[in-house]
Amino acid sequence: MNIKINGHSFSIEKEMNLLELLQFRNVKPQGLAIAINEDVIPRNHWETVFTKENDNILIITATAGG
């Protein structure tokens, strides 16, 4: 399955939920926001939303200080 994360193409073996995807990329979930195909996914849905072929995923890290 092919997906894009922050503009970079990745091939993954199977659908995975967003928490599994973060583990796959070795990213800690604290302070993040995730959008799939320009739709923001609430944190409480990260375990139930799964990747699909050709998804365009954006992972944003919050920073302090404005």
CA distance 22 to 20: 5
* Domain annotation for the chain: domains and CATH numbers: 2-61 (3.10.20.30)
Q: Dump pLDDT digits (tens) for 9-63.
A: 999 999 999 999 999 999 999 999 999 999 999 999 999 999 999 999 999 998 8
Q: What distance in Å separates the CA atoms of residue 61 and residue 59, rounded to the nearest whole number?
A: 7
CB 41 within 8 A of CB 9: no
pLDDT band at 64 (very low <50, low <70, confident <90, very high): confident
Q: The tokens 């973060």 sit on which residue? A: 22
Q: What is the 3-state secondary structure (H, E, C) of 18-47?
A: HHHHHHHCCCCCCCEEEEECCEEECHHHCC
pTM over 0.75: yes
Q: What is the pLDDT of residue 66?
A: 59
